Structure 1
Amino acid sequence: MILKFKTTALFFVLFSVLVSCTSSSKIIYLQKAATSNSNDERISYEPVLQSDDLLSIIVTAQNPESTIPFNLPQIQGNYQIENNQNSITTYLIDNEGQIDFPVIGKVTLAGLPRREANKKLETLVSDYIKNPVINLRILNFKISVLGEVNRPGSFVIQSERITLFEALAKASDLTIYGLRSNILIVRETDGVKKYQHVDITQSDFVNSPYYYLSQNDVVIVNPNKTKINAAAVGPNTTVILSSVSLLITLAVLLFKK
């Protein structure tokens, strides 16, 4: 009876070492945020237009008839947003960063923040209309979240502004195996892909230029060591534990002699 008790105790001690508890510092988001110095500078974000952006551009003015040449009939473009079919006029920014706008012709918009693109179009249209107002929206603003999250996938964003935390929330948060201290963000700027690793356990992450995501960003959550080790062991876990138990039993018997 005593031998059995010792064997069981040794087994549970070894098992506890193998599956030792993870430090909370690897799990908690924005640590020490409550005691960190606040940043009084307001962080503003505005999307920058790029190739393959699909735009809705509507021109309005005091004289509605004067805007007709700039607003193509809605039946010429259909774009589906979250399973709702909407008849809207759309303009796709081509590989050269341009759109073909009515009356004006080719206009380069890629590389401009949305507000500057609005002003540029207003300036061009003002040659034909008095005090025009431009309403420009990005219709295919989306981000993708992959890896150790509960619901990976691509998500269309209506507001044109989303934080990394909001993106992770759309993916139903990280799994317990997600590596929170080293999340990879893939971002394309002017045709060049950039890779940035961020640590969302640190409170100063909110001041990072990657706190707000850009359209078409890809967020990759890598697995932590626990998940990697588990993948390496795989289906052999039961066999290994049984072998360890057997070795402990034999060791106890030998030492007892």
Structure 2
Amino acid sequence: MRKLLPLLFLSLLAVSCISNKRITYLQNLPDNEPIELDEFIPFAEVDYKYILQPFDIVEIDFASSDEELTKAFSYQNNGTGGLSGMGGTGGGGGQGSDPLYFRGYSIDQAGEVEVPKLGKIHIAGMTEEEAKDKVQEAINEFFKEEVYVRLRIAGIRYTTLGEFNSVGVKVIYKNRATIFDALANSGETSLLGKKNKLFIIRQYDGGTKIHQINLNDRGILASPFYFIQPNDILYMEPMNIRQIGNADNLTASLALFAGLLASTLLIINLVTGN
């Protein structure tokens, strides 16, 4: 029995160890063309312009030399036509803590936004620039004076599930964000997350697709999924080691096992008299 216990402890320790290769980002994996440090990596040949969808929230600002004109497009208790002063990056939280949810212009199920004085304007299925031009055309028909329009997505909203240190609906106040921006904004992944199996559930016009990416692979920098999009859902699977313990209590579990092992050996020595 005394001979088997150390072997059992070593076996448990061996299966509990996590290789650095499983947790290190941006490696040069052997199956791919190596990417060296300082090497220029062009973005994937894809169109990164986001297409507006129903239930998106957009920011619409109006500017004119005549302030009275822009006030006509402001909702009650909203000092500007749309939003202002909300640039930069921001972290976490759901819509309950997000002022853009209450002050922005929400695209309804029919793909329209309702702007004071202008009524409903269909902008779903368009890029930000195309939607801006559509609103500008509508306002040009309403006023002869010059009123300029700025329209943009009110931050990138995405959801994290699984082995993230912070899960839930997150917001990044930028018009473009990488997968690593999303990871950092979500408190990083847990130690037990399968970084080679991050699933992106992405909304498309008329449906949804599930994509799998490998964060261990340096080739992600040239992937079309290097940039996240609004409404993405990021799900990371746990490693099988979770059957033994999670990242927080694994060390404590091993320490407890080691203590029990030492106590058992001591009792055996006392009983056998060796």
Which TM-score band applies after superposition, normalised by the shorter structure? 0.7 to 0.9
Please give the alpha-carbon distance, in whole angstroms, between the structure 2 residues aligned to 1:206 and 1:86. 31
Measured at CA, do residues 118 and 17 of structure 1 come closer, stay the same or move farther in structure 2, by a change above 3 Å?
Answer: same
Give the structure 2 partner of residue 75 of structure 1. Answer: 77
Which residue is equivalent to 2:121? 107
Q: Is the 8 A contact 1:144 1:154 kept in 2?
A: yes
Structure 1-normalised TM-score?
0.73
Q: Secondary structure at the match of 1:219?
A: strand
- Contact 1:74-1:88 within 8 A present in 2 as well: no
Tell me how far 1:228 sits from its aligned partner: 4.5
Q: 1:134 to 1:143 in 2, by over 3 A?
A: same
Separation in 1 of the partners of 2:57 and 2:225? 23
Task: Tell me the alpha carbon deviations over residues 97-147 of structure 1, each in whole angstroms, 9 at most, x when there is no partner.
Answer: 011233433311112121221122223322334443212243364211111
2:240 and 2:101 map into 1 onto residues whose CA distance is: 49
Aligned partners of 1:142 and 1:215 also within 8 Å: yes
For 1:1-257, what aligned pairs fall within 5 Å after superposition? 6-7=3-4, 9-19=6-16, 21-32=17-28, 33-35=35-37, 37-40=39-42, 45-69=48-72, 71-75=73-77, 83=97, 90-127=104-141, 128-139=143-154, 141-228=156-243
After superposition, the Cα gap between the structure-2 partners of 1:149 and 1:135, relative to the gap in structure 1 and judged at 3 Å, is same
Equivalent position SS for 2:220: helix
Q: C-alpha separation between the residues in 1 aligned to 2:101 and 2:68? A: 20
State the secondary structure of the residue aligned to 2:196: coil
Match of 2:62, SS state, is: strand
CA shift digits 1:155-182 (9 cap, x unpaired) = 1222233222121112211111100001
* 2-structure distance, mates of 1:16, 1:228: 14
Consecutive unaligned residues in structure 1, runs of 5 or more:
250-257
Shift of 1:74: 3.9
Gaps of 5+ in 2: 29-34, 84-93, 269-274
SS in 2 for 1:221: strand
Report how many aligned residue pairs link the two structures.
235
SS at match of 1:173: coil
Local SS of the residue matching 1:124 = helix
Distance 1:73 1:205 in 2: 43
Provide the aligned C-alpha RMSD in A: 3.9
Distance 2:203 2:95 in 1: 23
**Inter-partner Cα distance in structure 1 for 2:194 and 2:100:** 40
Q: 1:11 to 1:85 in 2, by over 3 A?
A: closer
Displacement of 1:225: 2.2
Q: What is the DSSP-based 3-state SS (H/G/I as helix, E as strand, rest coil) of the residue aligned with 1:126?
A: helix
Secondary structure (helix, strand or coil) at the match of 2:135 reads helix
Distance 1:113 1:159 in 2: 16
AA aligned opposite 1:133: Y
SS in 2 for 1:155: strand
Task: Give the match's secondary structure for 1:227.
Answer: helix
Task: Give TM-score, length-normalised by structure 2.
Answer: 0.69
Q: CA offsets per residue over residues 169-200 of structure 1, 9 Å max, x none?
A: 12211111100001011122224121111111
Greater mean deviation of Cα atoms: 84-93 or 118-127: 84-93
Residue type at the aligned position of 1:25: K
Compared with structure 1, are the counterparts of its residues 11 and 89 closer, same or farther at alpha carbon in structure 2 (3 Å cutoff)? closer
Q: Who wins on radius of gyration, i.e. which is larger?
A: 1
Shift of 1:219: 0.6
Equivalent pairs: percent with the same residue? 26
Aligned residues of 2:200 and 2:211 also touching (Cα < 8 A):
yes
Q: 3-state SS of the aligned residue for 2:137?
A: helix
